[in-house]
Structure 1
């Protein structure tokens, strides 16, 4: 194929750019930023210190949609080229020289930095936080989208409001600003990292501290309103830290470790170096801890401080080295805390998900740079489980330790890791690579054999399933005959979920009265309809120590026994549930559609449910409220306005769901007319989206 001159020039420019960056070594970045939250703006300056490795005439930085008003080279103002995505500074530089490039800029980040709560009437919920994974830090800081460029980033943040600021590294200074209520916060890193790992959070926070057994300071942040939830939220944090240091075999490589919950975070958590940011939906009380806790995310993000931050992939085809490893070590931490049974049953659950994925022809190889989360996280963890099984626990640990020490503060590829494991174990791993890294299918039979061999309760589970499959008419008798011999709570829970409808009510009643909380929960989750003989037993679950159980019991009882609806609503009034208010939202909906229940307070219940769709609430809360209101025909003008606002939300799956709801609502001309009536209340951005959606 003959290339056009334009394409030839483009390819040459790309090649030249790559070579330019290889000829310099960026060592340190001194950063000063001043966020103006009400304007969603950052004013910043950054000075990069670098050494010239070979003669070169220019350097560049990734920088998206910024206004540069001063750029200097070794203190002398200099011209620059900027195309809206990358700034290039041209100057003759000789091998061995040290230079400093400084840039002053202003930016309104289109992504990566999120300013929440500054434009609502709620006091104390104001936050600013970052999410830089991938190639996004360049939206607020001239930096490097290339993960192989590692720099020591030292950050100063000026904030003229009195909020807490948390960022990478040690807090060296907190200086009072003149003529304001704010401070200048100065943070110091000691080692280099990739740009995507720079992070900061600003908000109304308090902090508890602890120290690992190795002496690493740990800072646990929380909002003042959540003071009673600090212990269950951060439960086992020190045990997790100590376990990972010991199991990985390499000392924690950074100065300290901080954890910060934020509102409407895009993911479960993000492993910014020394400063994990995570979703405040994991800030839970002890009842919520049973069903949704921070333990796995806590361990996963901490493991990234080694796998991803200390050693970093060169490119996305090596992403297994980040997510697979963090998932694997998080599972080991859970095993350490909750026991072997918990660990192996969790692996069984992920194996079954991967089997379904593979059978639907959606299986992906771990080498695939475009693979999804299920592959990189769960299949990636399984690959390490089976690799450890293949080479032995001691050889595996030694190989990991050598790998981390050899490539500390550098970049790695999958072959780098495999080479270390082969050398340490004396084993040729080419067949392992073919089966686990290159094969898009999931080797389900192999992992099931492994699980049966390692865990007796899983072995029993498959034996009972086989018996039931051979004698389906004897399901009840098989379960009753064997039940008293079973000791594993996980086994019982899964059998109830699978066969609860076939179990005699007497056995189910006994389970509710005497078994573990998860077994009781499994009973109510397994029943499509509650038998009258079980009504009283299920009613007891309205007071159980599980919000999932209470929610399921309330809905099932309200549906199956309408004559007792007032009783059930009275008993559960005031229960919020998880941080997303799952029980309260269900309760409000049921109260509204129960005609005889407190008719004089229907209006206040409807207002409360409608207000939960507002932007000040978490997107999980909002989505549930939207769905319930849709089901009962409760879309008033306020709810519709909130729904339109949600169509531009920064969390893509919430935005997608909101847009789908709006599209469905607009199917009728009457509803389209209703939307048009609230048009004057919308922002310009919302109007533009609506015009595009309606087609006008």
Structure 2
């Protein structure tokens, strides 16, 4: 290696650790992206335009393990950093005689096999670049302080649909692929660039202000569109009115995908969310998309329009999105629901604080609980402090002043202080700089609610002898909300059934879905006197209630097991098939099930462990087959596949199950025999595990 090359390496290594936003402003990118599902790879062509802010001879794009070819530029040379100092291959360097205030264009092609951020599941392909990870599938800028306009063109098989940032302006068929061309008009941070490919239909609606809204779904989920996207238009219209700033982008799209890593992701104009939230009208009652829907939509203003400068100010995104989602739920579900959610949030924060693990809101390494929930509480208390008018005016001015820019907490506070005479120094100390959660302030706020005061009166009876509170609990069961009656039921647990029987009967005769659900979840030993009332829970509009009731009835009344199974035979439940999988499990262990049916149902349950299904379905299936000791080769192979799944919780679950199985010498031998048949990642994992 010659001396010049050595010096260039040293320079590149130094520059790579510096902020380049002082040297260059990347303005726009036009990208053509061609994902390859069979190889789980991507190739494409990008055309970047950038303006030089200070004279320099090199700038870079973040690009993880990418190969570059077909460079089109007269004055710019391009090299992947793996050829130079950065052996990790994390950048593409653009070198030339770059002059201040000059604008340059460069075009090149690339290819990559991303280890993360671009995911392939069945016929679906989707991205998740949260934070700074878009550079795994697209040469881009990981620094969220450099915003640029993205115009993406994504190629997909002719029979599939593409959803991406911006407005779809053209579809061009070419051989077996169709190229979907999207246009953005405003800049955004690179982590918000995204696309999803799959077999999707869509429902189109329009906001009151005329913004096009597209709601995507799988064809087989057409009957779930209304409950899944229920209140969408109401929430959108509410936000434009409440925030005071019109929706800042061309349109808004939402698409559910399988095996998503989080609940949802607020990619600009194109939210991708977990298909676990795709529900029918019954599923809506326990697992609806309303909160996540509102949260991700709020990010289109708070996070996408104005973006944090760094993680110290992460609450400006997550705290704001959480806060406005709470307001949206208040608009949709009413005051009692709003205060109940705030109460549960406060309980979590108080527990964290009381354990000595409380965190300052401006701690860049704080937990999600702090950024999201404490951030929302901070805004709730700030609004209480300065009043509605001053608060809403400041929010509007803040968004207008910093639109398409980056912000710090000081920027937000400056807008607050411009519009109020109130001294907010105490609020700053308590909610921004204090690690402890101000539980007393939160309690005072919650106590504004008549409902919460009534709830606190009932919850205060938890340690009171039953005979002294019986009448109060009985009255609480008739409360005209979904929460006080539940608390009354929870206080029956552990008390003599001879005394609580009348109250359980009253609860089971209630019209309140959640009071009845509380009985299903807490009364696992069912007295004969309650059998007939308890059986009615199987018909409740709640898959959680049905699941608990089916299991408890099956356990308590063996002589009627087949009757209960017949009642629930055709019910599937949530997206994870909670009712169907429980039904299969119980049927397989019910005496008298015909042998041919046992074989059929066992095969179905085992099939749910395969990668054909989403990880939510697979996790539940693994739990059941493990209880049934279906320790077969197919199950072990599917478990090893799960051990390298992108979702870390599911991956951890699978690995812990494997740890337990490897203790058994017979099962260990079965795993050893599988080694030669495994794909690389699974083979590497198991080889390491067996050597421990």
Q: TM-score, normalised by structure 1?
A: 0.94
How far off its partner does 1:309 sit? Answer: 0.1
Aligned to 2:3: none
How far off its partner does 1:15 sit? Answer: 6.1
Distance in 1, Cα, partners of 2:316 & 2:200: 33
Distance in 2, Cα, partners of 1:671 & 1:140: 39
Q: Is the 8 A contact 2:77 2:96 kept in 1?
A: no
1:174 maps onto 2:171 in alignment: yes
1:54 maps onto 2:49 in alignment: no
Distance in 1, Cα, partners of 2:230 & 2:255: 15
1:371 maps onto 2:376 in alignment: no
Distance 1:19 1:534, change over 3 A: closer
Distance in 2, Cα, partners of 1:618 & 1:80: 36
Q: Is the 8 A contact 1:162 1:181 kept in 2?
A: no
Q: Is the 8 A contact 2:44 2:111 kept in 1?
A: yes
Aligned to 2:130: 133
Distance in 2, Cα, partners of 1:353 & 1:79: 50
1:192 maps onto 2:183 in alignment: no
Structure 2 residue corresponding to 1:337, chosen from 317, 329, 332: 332
Distance in 1, Cα, partners of 2:249 & 2:420: 29
- Describe the SS at the equivalent of 2:561: helix
1:390 maps onto 2:372 in alignment: no
Q: Is the 8 A contact 1:234 1:294 kept in 2?
A: yes
How far off its partner does 1:432 sit? Answer: 1.2
Distance in 2, Cα, partners of 1:213 & 1:461: 38
Distance 1:520 1:653, change over 3 A: same
Deviation string for 1:263-302 (max 9, x for gaps)?
Answer: 1000010000000001111111001000001111111100
Q: What are the equivalent positions in structure 2 for 1:553-564 lying under 5 Å apart?
A: 553-564=549-560
1:104 maps onto 2:73 in alignment: no
Distance in 1, Cα, partners of 2:372 & 2:258: 24
Distance in 1, Cα, partners of 2:567 & 2:157: 48
More deviation, 167-176/624-633: 624-633
How far off its partner does 1:12 sit? Answer: 9.8
Distance in 1, Cα, partners of 2:21 & 2:461: 64
Distance in 2, Cα, partners of 1:343 & 1:80: 52
Distance 1:149 1:623, change over 3 A: same
Instruction: Note the residue ranges of structure 2 that are not aligned, 5 or more in a row.
Output: 1-5
Structure 1 residue corresponding to 2:488, chosen from 492, 495, 514: 495
Q: Is the 8 A contact 1:468 1:475 kept in 2?
A: no
More deviation, 203-212/355-364: 355-364
How far off its partner does 1:580 sit? Answer: 0.5
- Describe the SS at the equivalent of 1:104: strand
How far off its partner does 1:467 sit? Answer: 4.2
Distance 1:75 1:286, change over 3 A: farther
How far off its partner does 1:427 sit? Answer: 2.4
Deviation string for 1:485-513 (max 9, x for gaps)?
Answer: x3333221233234355472223223222
More deviation, 339-348/40-49: 40-49
Q: Is the 8 A contact 1:399 1:421 kept in 2?
A: yes
Aligned to 1:360: 355
Distance in 1, Cα, partners of 2:199 & 2:41: 19
How far off its partner does 1:533 sit? Answer: 1.1
Aligned to 2:450: 456
Distance 1:640 1:579, change over 3 A: same
How far off its partner does 1:204 sit? Answer: 0.6
- Describe the SS at the equivalent of 1:150: coil
Instruction: Note the residue ranges of structure 1 that are not aligned, 5 or more in a row.
Output: 1-5, 118-125
Aligned to 1:668: 664
Structure 1 residue corresponding to 2:118, chosen from 93, 113, 119: 113
Distance in 2, Cα, partners of 1:393 & 1:461: 27
Distance 1:680 1:433, change over 3 A: same
Distance in 2, Cα, partners of 1:19 & 1:377: 28
Structure 2 residue corresponding to 1:301, chosen from 289, 296, 303: 296
Q: How many residue pairs are counted as aligned between the two chains? A: 677
Distance in 1, Cα, partners of 2:383 & 2:514: 31
Distance in 2, Cα, partners of 1:81 & 1:530: 68
Distance in 1, Cα, partners of 2:550 & 2:598: 19
How far off its partner does 1:72 sit? Answer: 4.0
Distance in 2, Cα, partners of 1:467 & 1:81: 66
Q: Is the 8 A contact 1:229 1:283 kept in 2?
A: yes
- Describe the SS at the equivalent of 2:30: strand
More deviation, 559-568/166-175: 559-568
Distance in 2, Cα, partners of 1:136 & 1:664: 34
Q: Is the 8 A contact 2:21 2:145 kept in 1?
A: no
Q: TM-score, normalised by structure 2?
A: 0.94
How far off its partner does 1:679 sit? Answer: 2.8
Distance in 2, Cα, partners of 1:535 & 1:20: 70
Distance in 1, Cα, partners of 2:253 & 2:658: 40
